[in-house]
Amino acid sequence: MAPKLIFPLLIGFLLISYPINAQQNDVDAIVSDLYESISFNKDKDPDYEKFQSLFIDGGRLISVKDTTSFTLTPDDYEQSMTKQRESGNIIAFEEKELARKTEQYGNILHLFSTYQTHVETPDGTDSARGINSIQLMQIDGSWKVVSLIWYEEDQAHPLPEKYLPSDMN
């Protein structure tokens, strides 16, 4: 191929692929910010301002247990965790992503984010895993969380291998 054609083709490829890569980086940043903003220990406060900024107005968090659920706003979540922390019931909380499955159509995106939590209380440390089902929508070029539904793994509902990192299968 003539050198004069390679450069325009390369520029064209970069222009076409940039929005896809930037979009993925934006989603990666939101998920990273989501987990990081709610994690805390005795030396690091949670960043609830960042946490709340990730959601649309009216965004929801929903905890599911078998056939029951309870719904929180991001503000409700902050108040609940702040109360638990200030009372000394929770000393540290860390949540991190282990694996992810993503589906997108137009301006909506759905993530199945496998998570692991570590919670330190006066009685010791406990760990748990589960799935965060995160629904996002793109508004003015940025992704925002519409809802986050979580289900914690238990004996009756172990995490399927397809939602675990390949090194955990």
Question: 54 exposed, middle or buried (CB, 10 Å; 0-12, 13-18, 19+)?
Answer: buried
Residue 42 has pLDDT above 50, yes or no: yes
**Does residue 4 lie in a domain region?**
no
> Binning pLDDT at 50, 70 and 90, where does residue 54 land?
very high
CATH of the domain at 108: 3.10.450.50
Domain count, the chain: 1
Query: Other C-beta atoms within 10 Å of 132: how many?
Result: 20
What is the extent of the structural domain holding 71? 17-168
**Does residue 12 lie in a domain region?**
no
Query: Other C-beta atoms within 10 Å of 58: how many?
Result: 9
C-alpha to C-alpha distance for 93 and 36, rounded to whole angstroms:
10
pTM for the full model?
A: 0.83
144-168 pLDDT per residue, tens: 999 999 999 999 999 999 999 988 6
78-93 pLDDT per residue, tens: 999 999 999 999 999 9
**Does residue 8 lie in a domain region?**
no
**Does residue 9 lie in a domain region?**
no
- Please give the residue that has the higher pLDDT: either 45 or 17: 45
**Does residue 59 lie in a domain region?**
yes
**Does residue 11 lie in a domain region?**
no
**Does residue 33 lie in a domain region?**
yes
**Does residue 93 lie in a domain region?**
yes
The dihedral built from the CA positions of residue 113, 116, 118 and 119, taken in this order, carries a sign that is positive
